[in-house]
Structure 1
Amino acid sequence: MSLTNDDISEDDISEDDYSEDETLTTARTEQFSILFCELERCREDEQKQKIEELNGLIDEMNKEEFKSVFTIELFNKIHQMIEKNTLSLESAILLLKHVGRCKELKSFFCFSFDDSLLSKRMKEMMIDEYEKKKDEKNEKHLTDLCECYALLGEDDIHDELLSVIMPCLLKAASKKEESDEAQKEKENALLALSLVNEFEDKDFEQCLIEIKEIIKRHQEHRNLTWLAYQSTWQFLMERLYDDAELEGVLVNELHFVREAAREIEELSKCVDWKKRKEGEEKEEKKTKEEIILVRWIRTLETFSRLCKLRNEELAGIIGIIVRLFRAAKFFSEDLIYEIVECLSSATGNSAIEIDDLLKEGAIDAMLGEAVESNLRIPQIFYWKLPFIELCERLKGKMENEEDEAKRKVMKRKVLERMEEEGYEDSVFKFCNCMHRGMNKYYSLIDDPDDYFLYC
């Protein structure tokens, strides 16, 4: 079977389908604009009702709709409405916090906020509130401002604001109340905290103590939501880039891999993949469980890339990821992309044995997908990554004789598996297609030798 230009020039979307999508996009964004304009003419209680409707529309938006609505002009308009008292600050926070959650959970970008007048105003309000005397300070108001700012922004938070935002969010996340409202507040605080990547070492020491208490309390009492717990680990994982000692805490004290494995398995059981397949809508609305699964795999990818400590739990979680991949491979492109990234990092990490990748089915899964994807151009980009990592590890000779013997055994096993699956034939076909004038995709090839192992 060969690939022609005709095979890849169409997106399998009819003109009628495209027109329908255009109509839906226009309807949602226009409805948002109409409702937003009505806010200035409403009483505060009516504003809250309108904002609930606006938040419902935001939940339905795709990336293009979100980007077209939340522009610097809109954020400047919100600033102006607050300034003129035509929109109460409480109502604005209700809207902005939802926008920030949606942006983060759907992995949208919102660069327009950082340069807006609203961003500048919120900075000033946070600092003013923080500097008030204890008996004059409105803690909830300050927490709301910190959450909105952290959730909406894309730029790094400067030192002046870090000293305000970090302790505020940690205090909100550490509360021990167990009501539904308290759970929601802790979830928002931890989600916002997971986005704070810049902080001084001296500040992190106390922060780590509090975060460890939050994690251990959850491990004992299960008192956090799925999203809140995942956000707590994501916050720590971002710090792993700069703090190698933290890995020992994650592995030996907090048992990250064990916790991640359990959470991923529980979440996977809550997603009905067959129901997703039968859905008639082209753009299925992701369940909260699927969204959190994507976040867990992303967090695990960071750990798989940076961890240096060998531990037995790593092999087990590879098997869980492979099972998740097989269940979701036809239904969730975002999740599959994150799984490929995670497997690539695991494959390239010497702390994870190649034999474990074989035993847990990771190499079989990667081989099968690589072979199937060789004639589907975009997918080959995903699946070249794990094999380049695998080939790099198996090509290099080891100085230690025992290690070198193990390498040769693993290389032979992988080569045999590749031959059984027809891997090399499929890559040759792919490269041949690329060389027949398809320059648009030529950069995906790099050096074809990167895809192969030789005896």
Structure 2
Amino acid sequence: MIIEEEEKKEEKDERFSTDLCECYLLLNSIFSNKLRSICVHCLLKAALKKEENEEVQTEVEMALLTLSEMGYCEVPKELYLNELKEIIEHQQKHRNLTKLAYQSAWQFLINRFCTNKFLEDTIANELHFGREAARELEELTRNVDWKRKEVERGKETKEEFALIRWLRMFYVYFYRCKLKNEEITILIGGIVQVDRAAKENNEEISNQCIYSLMNAAGNRGVRVEDLLKGGAVDVVLESMQRPTLNKVMTNECCHFFMSVSYRLEEEDEYEKEEEERKELNRKVFEKMEEEGYEDTITSFYETLEFLRRNYNHFFLKKVSDYFVNV
């Protein structure tokens, strides 16, 4: 049916074609090259509509959401790059898309990053991903009702849904993007602010923040200074004192510091002059010492190294209690 609609020379029903393409992409995980090309072209055409009435904005949101759910399959850049740049740049000027639609546009682009390394400069420098993502996090955090009654917390709001999608997207970004960029500090700061708002009220969102920061700590494009200035070291230390800390989050927090430690050693050797190196080390370990964790992290260093070598991702259950009560 999709191919038949595409091959019509006149009287094409574009809305019907859009509906068919959305169904096809959402109901499949493996796509033929021909159908994938038709669907991407069709949905981007729908997503480029600029009218601000509710019906059109719903259509745009659904088209972008569908594209964002395609996963990491390879899509030739000729099919999407100019259109995605136009959508994102127009939103930066006019702010006419819904929160979910804008996040979905970035999601589709970041997913393409997995198979197209050339996108790194476009994402980081041309489209200012760090700045834009931090701004979206700030607005969504401000609009979430963090003090909802306990009975209502199981009902995820659209703002919480969008926040979680942003935070999960950062896994891919921090894993793939090795380009140093001044906006990284802003993005780290945005994640930290979300965690501080969520940690007493929404454990899932708070945990997603820590996962993102752990990935950032291992990324050579993220400087240790970015983690310090953005508040990541502080907020991970704060997380280790949560009474609800479980073994999975204990693992993530410790891996954050393991990554920072390795990074300090790397910068020791390759990047820093002696005085700068000493100052950076002093700042990191002062943060840890303030909370009483310097000796604790150091004592676990060999265990962390063992875990890294053996791809063992979990500590024993009692370790979480040890960190909470240290």
Q: Say whether the fold is shared (TM-score over 0.5).
A: yes
Alignment-derived partner of residue 338 in structure 1:
208
The runs of 5 or more residues in structure 1 that have no matched partner are 1-124, 432-441, 449-455
Aligned amino acid, residue 126 of structure 2: E
- Which structure has the bigger radius of gyration? 1
Asked if structure 2 preserves the Cα contact closer than 8 Å seen for 1:146 and 1:169, the reply is: yes
SS at match of 1:175: coil
Q: How much does 1:261 deviate?
A: 1.4
Considering only aligned residues, what root-mean-square deviation do their CA atoms show, in Å? 2.8
Alignment-derived partner of residue 140 in structure 1:
15
SS at match of 1:280: helix
Residues 237-248 of structure 1 mapped to structure 2, 5 A cutoff: 237-248=110-121
SS at match of 1:273: coil
Measured in 1, the distance between the counterparts of 2:165 and 2:263 equals: 28
Alignment-derived partner of residue 123 in structure 2:
250
Aligned amino acid, residue 285 of structure 2: L
Aligned amino acid, residue 27 of structure 2: L
2:50 to 176, 199, 202: 176
Residues 35-50 of structure 1 mapped to structure 2, 5 A cutoff: none
Measured in 1, the distance between the counterparts of 2:256 and 2:298 equals: 18
Aligned amino acid, residue 284 of structure 2: V
Alignment-derived partner of residue 273 in structure 1:
146
CA pair 349-191 structure 1, distance change in 2 beyond 3 A: same
Higher relative contact order (CA 8 A, sep 6+): 2
The runs of 5 or more residues in structure 2 that have no matched partner are 302-311, 320-326
Residues 96-115 of structure 1 mapped to structure 2, 5 A cutoff: none
Measured in 2, the distance between the counterparts of 1:301 and 1:256 equals: 14
1:228 to 89, 92, 101: 101
Question: Between Structure 1 and Structure 2, how many residues are aligned?
Answer: 306
Measured in 2, the distance between the counterparts of 1:171 and 1:417 equals: 50
User: Per-residue CA shift, 1:131-156, capped at 9, x if unaligned?
Assistant: 3x222433222211211222333x23
SS at match of 1:444: coil
Q: How much does 1:176 deviate?
A: 2.4
Q: How much does 1:325 deviate?
A: 0.4
CA pair 219-126 structure 1, distance change in 2 beyond 3 A: same
Aligned amino acid, residue 208 of structure 1: L
Aligned amino acid, residue 172 of structure 1: A
SS at match of 2:85: helix
Are 1:387 and 2:257 counterparts?
A: yes
Residues 9-408 of structure 1 mapped to structure 2, 5 A cutoff: 125-131=1-7, 133-153=8-28, 155-196=29-70, 197-201=72-76, 204-274=77-147, 276=148, 278-281=149-152, 284-372=154-242, 376-396=246-266, 398-400=268-270, 402-403=272-273, 405-408=275-278
Asked if structure 2 preserves the Cα contact closer than 8 Å seen for 1:371 and 1:427, the reply is: no
- TM-score w.r.t. the length of structure 1 is 0.61
Q: How much does 1:339 deviate?
A: 1.0
Measured in 2, the distance between the counterparts of 1:400 and 1:223 equals: 45
- TM-score w.r.t. the length of structure 2 is 0.83
Measured in 2, the distance between the counterparts of 1:237 and 1:263 equals: 16
Alignment-derived partner of residue 309 in structure 2:
none
Asked if structure 1 preserves the Cα contact closer than 8 Å seen for 2:114 and 2:176, the reply is: yes
SS at match of 1:127: helix
Asked if structure 1 preserves the Cα contact closer than 8 Å seen for 2:218 and 2:260, the reply is: yes
CA pair 393-170 structure 1, distance change in 2 beyond 3 A: same
CA pair 263-137 structure 1, distance change in 2 beyond 3 A: same
Measured in 2, the distance between the counterparts of 1:323 and 1:194 equals: 25
SS at match of 2:151: coil
CA pair 400-424 structure 1, distance change in 2 beyond 3 A: closer
Asked if structure 2 preserves the Cα contact closer than 8 Å seen for 1:373 and 1:379, the reply is: no
Measured in 2, the distance between the counterparts of 1:209 and 1:375 equals: 45
Q: How much does 1:373 deviate?
A: 6.2
Q: How much does 1:444 deviate?
A: 1.4
Q: How much does 1:165 deviate?
A: 0.9
Aligned amino acid, residue 142 of structure 1: S
Measured in 2, the distance between the counterparts of 1:245 and 1:157 equals: 23
Q: How much does 1:390 deviate?
A: 1.5
Q: How much does 1:184 deviate?
A: 0.3
Measured in 1, the distance between the counterparts of 2:178 and 2:248 equals: 32
Measured in 1, the distance between the counterparts of 2:167 and 2:221 equals: 18
Taking only the aligned residue pairs, the percentage that are identical comes to 46
SS at match of 2:171: helix
Aligned amino acid, residue 217 of structure 1: H
